[in-house]
Amino acid sequence: MSAFFATCPKGLEYLLRDELLALGAGEAHEALAGARFTGTLETAYRACLWSRLASRVLLPLAEFDAADEEALYAGVQSIDWSAHLAPHGTLAVDAHTALSKLTHSQFIAQRVKDAVVDQFRQREGARPGVDTEEPDVRLNLRLKRDRATLSLDLAGTPLHRRGWREQQGEAPLKENLAAAMLLRAQWPQVYAGGGALLDPMCGSGTLLIEGALMAADVAPGLRREYFGFLGWQQHDIALWRGLLDEARRRAEEGLRGLRAAFFGSDADPRMLQVAKRNAQGAGVAGFFTLEKHDVAHVAPPPGFTTGLVITNPPYGERLGERAQMPALYRALGDALRARFTGWRGAVLAGDAELGRALGLHADKRYALYNGALETVLLTFELSPRETAAREPRPLSAGAQMLKNRLEKTLRHQRKRLAREGILCWRAYDQDLPEYAAAIDVYGREGGDDTWLHVQEYRAPAEVPAEVARTRLREIVRVAGEVLEVPRERIALKTRERGKGGAKYGRLDQRGQFHEADEGGLTFLVNLTDYLDTGLFLDHRLVRAKLRDLARGQRFLNLFAYTATASVYAAAGGARDTTSVDLSGTYLEWASRNLARNGFTGAAHRLVQADAMTFLRGDRGHYGLIYVDPPTFSNSKRAEDFDVQRDHAVLLLACAAHLAQDGVIVFSNNYRRFKLDRTALEERFTIEDWSAASIPFDFARRADIHGCWLLRLHRAGASPWDSARIKR
């Protein structure tokens, strides 16, 4: 048995002691910034490989008085260094001094190195070199009250460097401190109970990655390529390889059983990319969900009713930032109180004052050091008492009318919705003029994770702005109560007055997508970042029509947007689909929609191009073409387009690509649109399908879109007439 010393950040000593005992130490006792323990070489190797809390593992070689330079040199030379280092090996020395006559740590390190090198030169006629990065042997000398302890650093580099971190933020959380936070917050027990891990200010992802590796039983040192004992003369290679093989087997088994229970968000999209790359480096990215939004919008992830919310908010150390911090902590506390009943919480606060700004009652407080900065870790049981909602105010007379109207609509439509399997629909559309908004429901099979999308219409000019805002708040409240959707799953888009009249204010940029089910298919919707959500609810019947027409056909989708029409066509048995859109963002979204429904590979083509440019260059023929253009477009990357002015030219261009028995389904949302029958009837038989294409929940807005079915009415498609379609 040998004596060892494991170092750690202050505040982790008792946790480290318990960890070392669990790793097989014969004895372990806490000390300042570390723990002493006894064990075999295997115990020390296990500590290097498996300790989540230690910074270094030291093997003391000698202890001696070193009141001056000569005594220091003599004490180092008393050790037989050939037992530890090869003559042509490399070394590095770290030195620390306190309350001693020798006060310069760099000079102390130099003299230790000189003593080792001189011994080899005198005995072997050769001398070791110096490598400060990855030496064969790293020595650690601690001098306190003129008493020196010289140790071999078996870790070589700090053990918090796990080997997976590619990038970090401005104030990174060290991995061993993150592990301590997770242990203090009882993460292993939470995970064993089926809970999730959520970090609403995840930064570079340290807490999530450490939590995943802990849950999967992955040794924290498994990805490290360097340890301080690998070049040590007494290194037991067979023992070490056996420990590595065991750790690899445990990691493979643990990762096979790991649940996708790790959720992170951050307001900075750059940090989300860093977190993603770090998670990939750690081998756990597939178990993560990362989203862009601020802390006020954090909510429990779908499918989890319990878990641990843990985070390391900024402390406001920079000049001028401190004043902003209490509001951030209050927003975090409000979110935890409102939405996380039954969860645990843990926050590493910069100080006690910021901790109090959370407004939550901590069940435990732990002093931890983030580098040199003393912080406080607060842990919480988010019990019903902590999260109890205030008694709501009575509804105003107008809001009660709105509630009655919405309840009546739901009562009348519930059976039809269930009978037709409709989960995404419009529940309200300015039915009462005073409450000027549309309320759309985006649901899932099984009723889980339903979201509401509330979009404000322009209030009449005579309505004061404050009255309009009050009514909008009432809409949100009533919609949530009647449709049984919590506030955190209600997305709100508001208008503000500006030059040129009312317009939508600055939209959020959260990068937050939700799944919605329609027609037995699943689509991604984004309710906050864009004016449109990615699924046009008024086109529900149009998409169903495309599915009916698609069997055995080649399908072309122009102005494809998020390719919901292509998904329907593929589900209807289309031979292949081609989706054309100018936006790379929408095409990426389209790709995800297709993949979510199992439609991948060469049969489902995505093309980034202007529609007219594509038609001029493409030589394909299609049995079904869907054309749903915007009202107008003046994109610098496309030809100017106005649906009223240019639709005939566009549809005649499509005719050259339409199979003889094929169909063009043409729709648009321009409410004053007039189809140019004079220009089109020479080539097409035209069926106005507009009335039939309007779903029952949009009956109050029968002009919300128009839809026509166009078929070639003479044998053989005419050759391309470039003069005819020239602008």
* Radius of gyration (C-alpha) of the chain in whole angstroms: 34
Task: Choose among 614, 613, 566, 569: nearest CA to 590.
Answer: 566
Neighbours of 367 (CB within 10 A): 10
**Do the beta carbons of residue 53 and residue 176 sit within 8 Å?**
yes
Q: What was the pLDDT predicted at 632?
A: 77
The rounded mean pLDDT for the chain is: 90
What pLDDT digit, counting tens, does each position of 49-96 carry? Answer: 999 999 999 999 999 999 999 999 999 999 999 999 999 999 999 999
Q: What was the pLDDT predicted at 513?
A: 86
pTM: 0.56
Whole-angstrom distance, CA of residue 281 vs CA of residue 660: 54
Task: Choose among 61, 67, 144: nearest CA to 99.
Answer: 144
Whole-angstrom distance, CA of residue 402 vs CA of residue 68: 87
Q: What was the pLDDT predicted at 448?
A: 61
Task: Choose among 337, 321, 324: nearest CA to 380.
Answer: 337
Q: What was the pLDDT predicted at 67?
A: 95
- Which residues contact residue 398 at a Cβ distance below 8 angstroms, ignoring those fewer than 6 apart? 432, 434, 435, 471, 474
DSSP characters for 515-553? EEEETTEEEEE-SSSSSS-SS-GGGHHHHHHHHHH-TT-
What is the homologous superfamily of the domain 175-216+258-387 according to CATH? Vaccinia Virus protein VP39 (3.40.50.150)
Q: What was the pLDDT predicted at 459?
A: 72
pLDDT value at 167 more than 70: no
List every span in the chain annotated with CATH 3.30.750.80.
397-504
Q: What was the pLDDT predicted at 507?
A: 56
Q: Which two tokens stand for residue 387?
A: 């999260």
Q: How far is CA 432 from the centre of its chain?
A: 39
List every span in the chain annotated with CATH 3.30.2130.30.
2-153
Residue 338: is it exposed, middle or buried by C-beta count within 10 angstroms (0-12/13-18/19+)? middle
Whole-angstrom distance, CA of residue 382 vs CA of residue 362: 9
Least confident range of 277-291, 402-416, 651-665, 712-726? 712-726
Q: For the chain, count helices (H), then strands (E).
A: 21, 32
What pLDDT digit, counting tens, does each position of 240-266 carry? Answer: 999 999 999 999 999 999 999 999 999
**Do the beta carbons of residue 289 and residue 259 sit within 8 Å?**
no
**Do the beta carbons of residue 591 and residue 564 sit within 8 Å?**
no
* Residues facing 685 on adjacent strands: 711
Q: What was the pLDDT predicted at 350?
A: 84
Neighbours of 714 (CB within 10 A): 11
Q: What was the pLDDT predicted at 169?
A: 54
Q: Which two tokens stand for residue 234?
A: 């007494």
What pLDDT digit, counting tens, does each position of 432-454 carry? Answer: 988 999 999 999 886 667 899 99
pLDDT value at 497 more than 80: no
What pLDDT digit, counting tens, does each position of 708-718 carry? Answer: 999 998 654 44
- 265: helix, coil or strand? strand
Q: What was the pLDDT predicted at 353?
A: 81
Q: What was the pLDDT predicted at 322?
A: 65
Q: What was the pLDDT predicted at 725?
A: 36
- Please give the backbone phi and psi of residue 525, each rounded to the nearest 5 degrees, phi first: -120, 150
Task: Tell me the Ramachandran region of residue 408: left when phi exceeds 0, alpha when psi lies from -120 to 50, beta otherwise.
Answer: alpha
pLDDT value at 508 more than 70: no
CATH of domain 397-504: 3.30.750.80
**Do the beta carbons of residue 544 and residue 568 sit within 8 Å?**
yes
Element of type H or E holding 309: strand 307-311
**Do the beta carbons of residue 224 and residue 165 sit within 8 Å?**
no
Percent of the chain predicted with pLDDT > 90: 76
Distances (CA, A) of 206 to 19, 145, 370, 541: 20, 38, 14, 47
CATH of domain 536-725: 3.40.50.150
**Do the beta carbons of residue 370 and residue 328 sit within 8 Å?**
no
Q: What was the pLDDT predicted at 269?
A: 92
DSSP type of residue 463: S
Whole-angstrom distance, CA of residue 633 vs CA of residue 611: 12
DSSP characters for 117-164? HHHHHHHHS---EE-SSS-SEEEEEEEETTEEEEEEESSSS-TT--S-
Q: What was the pLDDT predicted at 352?
A: 79
DSSP characters for 372-400? TEEEEEEEEE--HHHHPPPPPPPPPHHHH
- Please give the backbone phi and psi of residue 229, each rounded to the nearest 5 degrees, phi first: -95, -5
Q: Which residue has the higher pLDDT, 87 or 32?
A: 87
- 509: helix, coil or strand? coil
From the options 3.40.50.970, 3.30.2130.30, 3.40.50.300, 2.60.40.1180, give the CATH code of 2-153: 3.30.2130.30
Q: What was the pLDDT predicted at 502?
A: 42
* Residues facing 130 on adjacent strands: 91
Least confident range of 180-184, 386-390, 469-473, 609-613? 386-390
